Amino acid sequence: MIGATLAAVKVVTKAATWGGLTGFQWALLGAACAFIGGGTGSAIGITYVNHVASGILVEDPDKFGPLLPIIAIPGTQGVYGLITAILVPVFFSPLSKLPADKGLLVFFACLPVAFVCLTSAIYQGLSSASAAGMVARRTEEAGKALILPALVETYAVFSLILSIFLFTSIGK
């Protein structure tokens, strides 16, 4: 797939820019998309679970400790977006004169994190809200409750692994 995409991009352009952007600018746009997608999804997901957790904590403030990991887990997708954004200039230095076709590939390589983390963080927040209800009724089941939103996390981790793999496949 990468080879076919690279071949298609090479047919379109061999120029220093494509769409008015240099290769490194395309790469930075991808990094920004990864961070924005992960961060936005995390903010929305945490908000969903906060609505439920705040109601629980009004009734029983002692449940704060068991609820905290459940509240925080949708925030990890923002971390994956940040990692992806940081890795772009690490793998593809602005000093390397990244060609436009490779920069476009870096942009596309960032999209799995951008889209999957945006979506999975929102759904993880919904799953975490349900898990918080479980902790409200049975605090001793907090560990089991955390597993449910952690299952959604799997796909965010897969998207990060895929983006890193694609970075290493692109080369400089």
pLDDT, tens digit, 9 for 90 and up, residues 120-144:
999 999 999 999 999 999 999 999 9
Q: Which amino acid is at 141?
A: E
Element (H, E) at 102: helix 100-137
Segments of the chain assigned E as strands:
17-18, 21-22
Which carries the bigger pLDDT value, residue 113 or residue 2?
Answer: 113
Distance (Å, whole) CA 36 – CA 17: 24
pLDDT value of residue 152: 93
Q: Tokens 């772009």 sit at which residue? A: 88
pTM for this predicted structure? 0.85
Give me the percent of the chain exceeding a pLDDT of 90. 76
Distance (Å, whole) CA 135 – CA 141: 6
C-alpha pair distances (Å), 169 with each of 3, 104, 108, 114, 141: 10, 13, 12, 19, 43
Look at residue 9 and tell me whether its pLDDT is greater than 60. no
For residue 62, report the phi and psi dihedrals to the nearest 5 degrees: -70, -10
Q: Which amino acid is at 14?
A: K
Look at residue 7 and tell me whether its pLDDT is greater than 80. no
* b/e per residue 92-111 (b: at least 16 CB within 10 A): beeeeebbbbbbbbbbbbbb
Mean per-residue pLDDT, 45-63: 95
Q: Domains (ranges, CATH) in the chain?
A: 20-170 (1.20.120.610)
